[in-house]
Structure 1
Amino acid sequence: MVNPRSSSSYRLRRSRFVVPPTIYRLALILLAFSVFLFLVSQRQIPVFDRGPSLPQKSSELEERLWDSASGYGYRPCVKPTHKYAGIQKSTGATDHMFSPIENPKSERSSATAKYFLCAFVLMSYTLYCRFSPIFNFLLASSHYICDMVAVARLMNATLIIPQLDKRSFWQDTSTFSDIFDESHFIKALENDVHIVSELPKEMESAPRVRKHFTSWSSASYYEGMSQMWKDYEVIHVPKSDSRLANNDLPVDIQRLRCRAMYYALRFSNPIESLGKKLVERLKSHGPYIALHLRYEKDMLAFTGCTYGLTDIEAGELKILRENTNHWKMKGINSTEQRLGGFCPLTPKEVGVFLHSMGYPSSTWIYIAAGDIYGGETYLSDLRSQFPNLVSKVHTESLATVEELKEFAKHATQTAAIDYIVSIESDVFIPSYTGNMARAVEGHRRFLGHRKTINPDRKGLVKLFDMLEKGELKEDTKFSSLVIDMHKHRQGAPRKRYGSLPGSKGRDRFRTEESFYENPFPECICPTDHH
């Protein structure tokens, strides 16, 4: 409705201030000239394929896309504290003992140390571990191995190099030494834990027990478990699971986990060699993204996510889920999963996300994953937007058949190659949060908070659905929404998240952020910290 008072006031102002015709024509000419200059200048602004057309200098754009602020002033800190004591060697060639982690000045501590010395003269305490490959087996096993190093320290035990279960659905015959540098692992931890390659022959008939340790347990739990040495000389740990709590452990135990994970566990020479070659070849083209694209058959079946698939494909995944006994969830609503942010991003969605973040189509992207479900049928959507899409197996432009020959049929070894390329990438982006993504993120944090962008899947799905309905377009506005959504999801320093509000009992440990996903603050310190 028109306000009569404002209308009469407007007529009154017009009657008092009449614009001369010459000035009016001059104003129109200036306006037209300004529009012309604006259009010309707009043509000179570099446009990155539907990315944000905000007026940014090239250096500013490069910094936003690739820079990780040189570690934000933090550095790795894994040296033991002054309270930490290494292995105390006895006069015997094979006898050893562990001093307590902390050395409180008390008679009880002294007596305990002496007792362990005597005990180790009489018998060998051994932790014997076997790990079963599941999703992201390599990285999960790495976590468990490092946890068992810490457990061996807490229980004053010798650790046997783990045997890898060869009966898994991966049918991988790889041994520990095929994947990791075994001699380096033993040498790097020699001042922390006594480690041997195999159980000595004379110990094969020694009293032993199979023990399923409680997941996410404290240091005091394992110190209590040391009472088992009164009756047994070998403890066999048959089940893979999280062995130690994420939080509230002695700082020296936490740092031991980091020394084991980031220094002792080094990949075998063949894996290291090929991994470094792939990194060099990728970097020869400029900065690159390592994309952990979890659009794999087992992951889609496990999560029950079928968005964008055909009815036949959705049915195939449902059958796989129902026939896999250890997957407890059977009836899953795919739509609810997706809206809740519990589904891996599709290759097409990843392409839209990367463009919206501002990455040009010329960007080199390495796919760190297994076989993508549907193969090129679904990868083509991403490849059409980013032609320089490569992996270790899908193109000979990165690795030759001869180079990959010795790794054929060894999924754990090719996963290790993916890990190296992901750690060294300029940007790491996981399409779904799993063991691999968590491990890589934690390692990149440890190495200086290298840029790691975690897509907000729940928020992105809302935007993608609005695109599909025509309520949004892939333009500057859309890009700004995506960029703003991810300002604080790029690997900057922060303390590890605790349990979710409302979680109770042992369930609260499940909701804590993994120590290996973010070893801050125990293993990451300010540069001025001493």
Structure 2
Amino acid sequence: MVNSRSSSHLRGSATSKFCIKTSPVSITVYILFIFAFSFIIFTLYTREILNEEQKPFLLESEAGKIADDRLWGAPFSHGFHPCVEPTPAYKEPQGWDHYITVRSNGGLNQMRTGISDMVAVARIMNATLVIPQLDKRSFWRDSSVFSDLFDENHFITTLQGDVKIIKELPKELEIVPRARKHFTSWSGLNYYEDMTRLWKDYKVIHVAKSDARLANNNLPVDIQRLRCRALYYALRFSPSIENLGKKLVERLKSRGGRYIALHLRYEKDMLSFTGCTYGLTDGEAEELQIMRENMNHWKMKKINSTEQRLGGFCPLTPKEVGIFLQALGYPPSTLVYIAAGEIYGGSNHISELRSRFPNVIFKEMVAAPEELKLFTEHASQTAALDYIISVESDVFIPSYSGNMARSVEGHRRFLGHRKTITPDRKALVEFFDKIERGELEEGSLLSSIVKKMHKNRQGAPRKREGSLPGMKGRGRLRTEESFYENPFPECICSSKTHS
């Protein structure tokens, strides 16, 4: 009985406690609350729908910008800058009562780097450097003298705190006996300090060759920085070359805003020297073979062209370059400037590139005939125009790793790691041959392969590479990466290091 009553009492209590008394006012407030809540939910939902509708367009725009940056943007190089100032231990030139005369051998860039080496050698040996004689006996047979190609006075004054440089040997020394030397290639500081013993018997040393006379590595930082000051600041082209070069760069920029400088080393001398005949007619291949046999200083007489190509030792053909550029993602409208001499086979071969990239341009198409008249008979001077245009280009791509390619790449690294794409020729040939055999089609798959293959071959900051593994003796020095191809770290500093 007690439990029954208690239960009944609790049920009555609960009913009375939770009973809500309704009124017109409370109903109205409740309806307004529901309406406001629904409106907020509707607004948020609508905004989300609009955002989702706009999202594809934003992503498409962002994707376009990212793709554009990948094609034209320079590799990440924030905080890196040229550093060529001497260290506190560097002293003013002393004495200089001995003289070095030089015959610079090779083409334009071989001579430029050789002259820069000779500046450093003169500094090490405490000698006065006489303005070098330029090569007139090479394949190009260029009659240019130093002042035709370079700003002679600028060269002398820029380096006056480093080395004494004079235009001519003093008259009284022209008839004295000279020590004629072929300095050993890639020699270091000790070698040249030892060579100073020659001053006991001679007032003048004549250097028969200037190319690659100085080591790439293990030199004092002040000597390395002097090489950079000589090459990038002192060895400026003559005013006529500089002025026309800058005009041509401006004209190219005005055509499309951006351009690729393609060093297409598909020239007669290079194809003959390397023995590369792929893509040529039988008649062209025979002509190159005859030329090769007649050049006494080209040591390798018999070359297997197929082996050369498979080993990556041949310049890419114009057709291969076209496939390569397309696979990288450059559109057909891209402006491609050919930084090279006469392409072997002329229009027959260049058409294989132009069919994919119609805006292929040579210097003759951006310069008036009268502007080029002074340079046409001088291969080194026309090469200097190509050098300026290549250094200032948005993207530089060499089809072969020769002196020009290495020099331009090094200069672009020095100026801020401007984008330089170096084709992996050995790897690319495998895919080019698959295309020829019908085993691979041009398209997204090839593009993906080529982009991945060259992701880390675009001129981003890195230390200079040493000799190849397993190399011993002096032979290893030949395999080191050229100082002038990558002057990091001696001449390029990061914000975390002191200049």
TM-score of the aligned structures, taking structure 2 as reference length: 0.86
For the residues of structure 2 that align with 1:192 and 1:244, how far apart are their CA atoms? 17
Structure 2 counterpart SS, 1:145: helix
Compared CA separation, residues 453 and 364, structure 1 to 2 (3 A): same
Between the aligned partners of 1:129 and 1:214, the Cα distance in structure 2 is 14
Which residue matches 1:195?
Answer: 165
Q: CA deviation at 1:455?
A: 0.4
Match of 2:494 in 1: 526
Contact 2:177–2:204 (CA under 8 A) maintained in structure 1: yes
Please give the alpha-carbon distance, in whole angstroms, between the structure 1 residues aligned to 2:210 and 2:462. 29
Q: Deviations over 1:203-253 (max 9, x none)?
A: 212342111111111111111111111110000111243111000000000
1:283 to 235, 253, 256: 253
Mapped pair 1:125 → 2:131? no
Cα distance in 2 for partners of 1:68, 1:291 equals 16
Does the Cα contact within 8 Å between 1:208 and 1:236 map onto a contact in 2? Answer: yes
Out of 82, 89, 111, which is 1:83 matched to?
89
Amino acid at match of 1:86: E
**Of 225, 231, 244, the match for 1:255:** 225
Mapping for residues 348-367 of structure 1, pairs under 5 Å:
348-367=319-338
Contact 2:419 2:459 in 1 (8 A): yes
Question: Structure 1 counterpart of 2:360, which letter?
Answer: L
- What residue in structure 1 maps to residue 400 of structure 2? 432
The equivalent residue for 1:31 is none
Equivalent positions of 1:295-314 (< 5 A) are 295-314=266-285
> Does the residue aligned with 2:206 lie in a helix, a strand or coil?
strand
Query: Could you list the per-position Cα deviations for residues 247-268 of structure 1 after superposition, in whole angstroms to 9, with x for gaps in the alignment?
Result: 0000000000000010001000
Task: Give the C-alpha shift of residue 61 in structure 1.
Answer: 1.0
Q: Which residue of 2 aligns with 1:411?
A: 379
Of 409, 412, 436, 1:468 maps to 436
- Amino acid corresponding to residue 79 of structure 2 in structure 1: G
Cα deviations across residues 424-463 of structure 1 (Å, max 9, x unaligned)? 0000000000000000000000000000000011111111
Q: Do the aligned partners of 1:291 and 1:429 also contact (CA within 8 Å) in 2?
A: yes
Which residue of 121, 135, 150 maps to 1:180? 150
Gaps of 5+ in 1: 1-40, 46-53, 89-96, 98-119
1:65 aligns with 2:82: no
What residue number does 2:30 align with? none
- Matched AA of 2:334: T
SS in 1 for 2:355: helix
In structure 1, C-alpha distance between the alignment counterparts of 2:112 and 2:247, rounded to whole Å: 23
Match of 1:509 among 468, 474, 477: 477
Deviation at 1:169, TM superposition (A): 3.5
Deviation of 1:529 after TM superposition, in Å, equals 2.3
- Counterpart of 1:343 in structure 2 is 314
Aligned 1:152-171 pairs, distance under 5 A: 152-171=122-141
1:528 deviates by: 3.5
Aligned partner of 2:25 in structure 1 is none
Q: CA deviation at 1:319?
A: 1.2
CA contact (8 A) 2:75 2:459 kept: no
2:387 partner letter: Y
Larger radius of gyration: 2
Question: Does 2:356 align with 1:385?
Answer: yes
Residue in structure 1 matched with residue 415 of structure 2 by the alignment = 447
Deviation at 1:56, TM superposition (A): 7.1
Distance 2:101 2:259 in 1: 41
Q: Distance in 2 between matches of 1:429 and 1:341?
A: 16
Per-residue CA deviation, residues 163-185 of structure 1 (Å, 9 max, x unaligned), is 11323342221110111000000
Which residue in 1 is equivalent to 2:445?
A: 477
How many residues in Structure 1 have an aligned counterpart in Structure 2? 441
CA RMSD of aligned residues (A): 1.7
Question: After the TM superposition, which segments of 4 or more aligned residues of structure 1 sit over 6 Å from their partners?
Answer: none
Shift of 1:87: 2.1
Letter in 2 for 1:126: Y
What code does the residue aligned with 2:265 have?
A: R
Q: How much does 1:527 deviate?
A: 2.3
Query: Residue by residue, what CA displacement relative to the aligned partner does 1:454-506 show, whole Å, maximum 9, x if unpaired?
Result: 00111111111111122211111110001000000000011111111111111
SS of residue paired to 2:316: coil
Residue 342 of structure 1 deviates from its aligned partner by 0.8
CA distance in 1, matches of 2:451, 2:214: 37
Counterpart position of 1:109: none
Q: Is the contact made by 2:337 and 2:362 (CA closer than 8 Å) also made in structure 1?
A: yes
Give the AA of the match of 2:285: A
Distance 1:421 1:337 in 2: 30
Task: Quote the residue 1:115 is aligned against.
Answer: none
Counterpart residue number, 2:297:
326
SS at match of 1:462: helix
Task: Quote the residue 1:493 is aligned against.
Answer: 461
Identity of paired residues, percent?
Answer: 68
Offset at 1:69? 4.2
